[in-house]
Amino acid sequence: MTTSEQLFKQAKQVIPGGVNSPVRAFRAVGGSPVFIKSAKGPYVFDEDGNQYIELINSWGPMILGHAFEPVEKAVRDAIQHSFSFGAPTRKEVEMAELIIDMVPSVEKVRMVNSGTEATMAAIRVARGFTGRDKIIKFEGCYHGHGDSFLIAAGSGAVTMGTPDSPGVTKATALDTLTAPYNNLQAVEMLIDNNANQIAAIILEPVVGNMGCVLPEPGFLEGIRNLCDQHGIILIFDEVMTGFRLAKGGAQERFGITPDLTTMGKIIGGGMPVGAYGGRADIMNVVSPAGPVYQAGTLSGNPIAMSAGLAMLRYLNEHPEVYTRLEEIGGKLAEGFRAGLVKAGLNYTINQIGSMFTLFMTDRSVSNFADAKSCDLPLFGRYFHAMLKRGVYLAPSQFESLFVSVALTDDLIEQVIQANEESLREAIQ
């Protein structure tokens, strides 16, 4: 038995399913999860001493590679001044100013501790601001585990086969309307059938949580127009895409301005941080400026702010990071496509910048139904074949890979080679 297997056995006695977040348990791909001991640059190391090339990067945050020196130094400096005050600090002001500088639509911003908190707060604000109750979300989009979002949710929720989780009340579910991604007509119909009742439309401007799915040309513009016509708050959930697809996220890349934006992952440099922000008139309803309550003992935590600030400052001052991420994503996609051709497969690759998914299906994938047509057992075999070859992928078909700039050209070649071999092994 490996050390990871031993630890998993122990973990299952004391933690539900042995993990603190479901996808980590490897249920979707079978087998026992590897327990990570440390990570540096482009590599993670497990408890058994195995080394893997990182293509998850903590599900996004480690965009500059693991234990990136400026972030590490910022944390080391910060811990000398105690870990938490629950009082305002200079760093929170600097963080808010920097986010507003980097993200085009954000005029005011509130820090929280996770992406889930950010999305929960954002819809409460949208409801408080509009005086309406219902929201529209898209099938296969994941916005954290808040009750309102566990309806046709992607990521771990679909992997575990519980898109509608027990514990979410019928009343809550009734206020969440869902449409297929990239389908404007469906959204129009929902709006018509619920006139003056929709507070917000929330979406991932590029989806990561059913695998990587891009908005079709005109989709984001169409949603923006519908929101304008009907007084609906448009929320871009940029927890994954923020500071990744461009310095200012997907909204900068596609030139669409949401009313509110939710952020997470990269914003904390690997520490537990989220944020929501947007139009000043909307954000001014948040307490204590306004009546919509939202709070947090550890919100704006000084250690987390230090890590996040170091990360965002680096990204803000080094535009070449984004050029390199485009290059890495492009090279991987090209190499993976060549691998598919060699293996005689016609599967789909969706890629934009450093987000990337190889879908085990011949269908082009532009919504959740397309994504669900994938050969999941084949993906499981492929995943383990890659792991065996030292490549650490997300353990589910319904996830995007997140590349870091630490990936060198040599490592890209190794990953492409591993992909070719793994495809051949998986289809046997």
Position with the least CB separation from ligand PMP: 115
| Residue in 91, 134, 137, 142 annotated catalytic | 142
For tokens 């002001």, the residue is 93
Q: Of the two residues 155 and 348, which places its CB atom closer to ligand PMP in the complex?
A: 155
CB of 298 to ligand PMP, least distance (A): 14
- Chain residues binding ligand PMP by CB under 6 A are 59, 114-116, 119, 142-144, 155, 204, 208-209, 237, 239-240, 264, 274
Q: Of the two residues 148 and 155, which places its CB atom closer to ligand PMP in the complex?
A: 155
Q: Of the two residues 46 and 204, which places its CB atom closer to ligand PMP in the complex?
A: 204
Q: Which amino acid is at 49?
A: G
Q: Which of 397, 359, 368 is nearest to 180 (CA)?
A: 368
Give dist(CA 11, CA 350) in Å, integer. Answer: 35
Q: Of the two residues 208 and 308, which places its CB atom closer to ligand PMP in the complex?
A: 208
Question: Is 265 labeled as catalytic in the residue annotation?
Answer: yes
CB of 165 to ligand PMP, least distance (A): 15
CB of 245 to ligand PMP, least distance (A): 12
Q: Of the two residues 155 and 299, which places its CB atom closer to ligand PMP in the complex?
A: 155
Q: Which of 273, 227, 233, 266 is nearest to 250 (CA)?
A: 266
Q: Of the two residues 239 and 387, which places its CB atom closer to ligand PMP in the complex?
A: 239
CB of 261 to ligand PMP, least distance (A): 11
CB of 402 to ligand PMP, least distance (A): 10
Question: Is 142 labeled as catalytic in the residue annotation?
Answer: yes
Sign of CA dihedral 27, 28, 32, 35: negative
CB of 327 to ligand PMP, least distance (A): 24
| Residue in 265, 276, 382, 392 annotated catalytic | 265
Give the pairing of strands 176-179 and 198-203: unpaired
Report yes or no: 66 and 40 within 8 Å, Cβ to Cβ: yes
CB of 144 to ligand PMP, least distance (A): 3
Give the pairing of strands 198-203 and 134-138: parallel
SS (H, E, C) 121-167: HHHHHHHHHHCCCEEEEECCCCCCCCHHHCCCCCCHHHHCCCCCCCC
Element (H, E) at 355: strand 355-359
| Residue in 46, 175, 237, 370 annotated catalytic | 237
Give dist(CA 302, CA 377) in Å, integer. Answer: 44
Q: Cα torsion at 88, 90, 96, 101 (round to 10°)? A: 170
Q: Cα torsion at 417, 420, 424, 425 (round to 10°)? A: 40
Question: Is 73 labeled as catalytic in the residue annotation?
Answer: no
- CA 344 vs CA 172, 229, 265: distances in Å: 47, 48, 37
Q: Of the two residues 239 and 418, which places its CB atom closer to ligand PMP in the complex?
A: 239
Give dist(CA 299, CA 338) in Å, integer. Answer: 46
The set of catalytic residues is 142, 237, 265
